Structure 1
Amino acid sequence: MTTAIAIEDVRREVKILRALSGHNNLVHFYDAHEDHDNVYIVMELCEGGELLDSILSRGGKYTEDDARVVMIQILNVVSFFHLQGVVHRDLKPENFLFTSKDENSQLKAIDFGLSDFVKPGLYSIFFYLSSMLYLFDWFVNMFFLFPFVDERLNDIVGSAYYVTPEVLHRSYSTEADVWSIGVIAYILLCGSRPFWARTESGIFRAVSKADPSFDDAPWPSLSSEARDFVKRLLNKDPRKRSTAAQALSHPWIKNYNDVKVPVDILIFKLMKAYLRSSSLRKAALRALSKTLTVDELFYLKEQFALLEPNKNGTISLENIKVALMKNATDAMESRIPEFLASLNALQYRRMDFDEFCAAALSVHQLEALDRWEQHARCAYELFEKDGNRAIVIDELASELGLSPSVPIHSVLHDWIRHTDGKLSFLGFVKLLHGVSSRTFAKVQ
């Protein structure tokens, strides 16, 4: 360890291990010492060997029940350090150890040498600067339409077989870890890797362009829930990929041994976007939330319960503060004020479960489902009955908070039906997603 970068990497790993504490599936950190030549890290001794060794000893694959046990532990610990703002960046079977030689012993996540903190609210910084300097006026408007967005990392790190497409594109966050978990799940269930080539560059091409096969044995003999579970983790679009907490709510997992779903950081990001949305978009999201199935509502019910609603069945900013403090380690405590500031609108009002469903659902994740078209059409029918009204483009632009410099007729001309001036189905779907800066780039 002679370079300044190598020394800094070890110090960052120690900082992360110090900050993260208290989870049963995270290797216990005791202390670290540094002399002139070395850094000494004292951690829990895990004598059971790597998860990789267990996979190999089983001839390459687990039963569904055994794979579920492993997945529950991995998802639990990953959702924990994602909530704390840490991305691991090198999740693979070699980095999970059994505490003892009994394979029923606990799994522990190890090796945070490539891990990093993800700073929240990068767009908040741009918003502040742009408002102070009167620059990027379109960005200021978009800030109110989009979720609280984490800092994007850009280093290509990790192991080739487990690396996610967005890492190769040098723009990623915690979702990259979930992809790696999907690769592990695929291997556990079928005994082979979802992406393979003889060279690292070939693996990277396969990860970027190929789709994992679910047609070859043993996939046809496995449950449809198991296949769906893995597919949701291996979605190439990180916006459509399940979070670790959502994966614990999946039907393949949730009915197994009373699995507890942890607080998901995603709900706070989505709630921020909802609270800053126009009244028209809120109405559209409420219509969409009414189309959710029992399985899709399960995750939202669990998240709402974790916020410990008041006796009247509503939550406020105080509920969110208590939930965050209850789950915070040293890594997260500094982030809490910014989270609360981003949800400040709840300081003056309360939110019931029906509105929470609209605020905390992910349109992108619903869009990844086979039944998305049905969801959208049913939601539009509800919106037609309850919320759709004649609206002119200028009024729509004003309600969306678009800047005067935006060519609104180019952006919004296909949002409104020419026959009656009401929002079209295409406009409804775009409204659900919000207006992106990419839209402006195409028309300006």
Structure 2
Amino acid sequence: MGNTCCVAPATTDEAEPRRVDAPPRDHHAAKKPAATTTATRQRHVQEPMPKPRARARDKAKPNAYDWAPPRVLPARGGGAAASAVRVLEGVVPHHPRLRVTDKYQLGRELGRGEFGVTHLATDRATRERLACKSIPKRRLRTAVDVADVRREVAIMASLPDHPALVRLRAAYEDAEAVHLVMELCDGGELFDRIVARGRYTERAAAAAARTVAEVVRACHAHGVMHRDLKPENFLYAGKSEDAQLKAIDFGLSVFFRPGERFREIVGSPYYMAPEVLRRDYGPEVDIWSAGVILYILLCGVPPFWAETEQGVARAILRGAVDFDREPWPRISRAAKSLVRQMLDVDPRRRPTAQQVLDHPWLHHAARAPNVPLGDVVRARLKQFSLMNRFKKKAMRVIAEHLSVEEVEVIREMFALMDTDNNGKVTLQELKDGLTKVGSKLAEPEMELLMEAADVDGNGYLDYGEFVAVTIHLQRLSNDNHLRTAFLFFDKDGSGYIERTELADALADDSGHADDAVLDHILREVDTDKDGRISYEEFVAMMKSGTDWRKASRQYSRERFKTLSNSLIKDGSLTMAR
């Protein structure tokens, strides 16, 4: 669950949260904490979901990202401060009396994300099956987290009714959580459907790619930049062969206006456009991400790959696409032509979503070559999907164990070091503070740490930069979060993730885990070849370049900024232009 209802200014990293249905707020008022009146009743959006006024995003907006530090909204363990935050107020219309359970019967858990848990929801009157994502307010630790949820709700409410876009049906809020009721998509992820088929062809890849392009066109036509297009965010509406493929996650999406430029580094590494790393981008990034998806659909592996974060980023910046590996020699010239256009490192030369749909290969998708792409592509897709699932489960465990108290400790440490209470920590304050808490870092190491963390080079750390330093120091001293994730898989406490435990963790809905995929993961992770995964091997996998997602989106933002800064320092961004 991510960004929710604002437009990023051209010269800032992130936009100030802005209500969709309310008049524009005073700039200084916008920085005040959310209302503190206890929200004891749930708010309900009647179906069909009313659309926000079309010109809401054209209103004047204040400069943003000038909050420091982000407010930690909940009190420890939740309580009155958490329940007082009114997340949906001013974002969507609401009804003050109904509860989510008045209209829907909540059933089994369908999945978990960074902030929320999704359950099956059955309409008590019609028996229609839907999905309900519940976001506990105790997980919304900062004003940015609240703004993220607001933006996502506003964007989902503003998008058109389109067969390829999951529809938000209702929204509720009570003292403990926000509940979003939407269409149920229980047909599995895009890659899972592909690997389940006995035969996979270029025509099937074209059909999926066309849906992705239609999603981009619909978003851009309504002033929405998705910013996180990836296969995991596309689910089939049902299990039938002709079920509709739908985009289901708008957590990092933002409203944009023509010509507007963005600087915040967000997204998922494999699918991130080079201009995102340069921190100067527009909606063309969605075309790039769709091109990466198309490349993977056709050959089973990402176009840009390396073992380290910097390596992957440099590969993206170079933009050299390999069309020699199997099965590219058998793929049509029209398909390769479209991939090349979508993965052009110059965003000005990339086609629009409409031009992608008008490309001969997609325009006549039903007539694309029906020659099988071979078992190698299906095998690669399965391996790629399940390795990500393994790491995603581990990240989820870490996220669930990143407590409110932990964030509160970081906030208190910032306040302790910020001795003049100006929302900034200087090098001297950092030295004094680290000495107070017993750090044994030598002064040169502190200076190097300060230089690395001060991503904007202004000589002090704001709260976001301070969080990155704190997490870095915690990881230097212990790996408690990784140990917790490891123990989640190591059910018998043997000190190893054994094959049966890995199979249980990666089993599909039927309880089956593919032996070939398990073999692949063990080959990749089990470096001493003893048939099991030790803690050290697990840590190496989690820290490898295959996944940059962090347990907290705020930490992810800071990590991406640090990566961008390192690329500037080593000249990669300049050389790639």
**TM-score between the two structures when normalised by the length of structure 2:** 0.38
More helix as a share of residues: 1
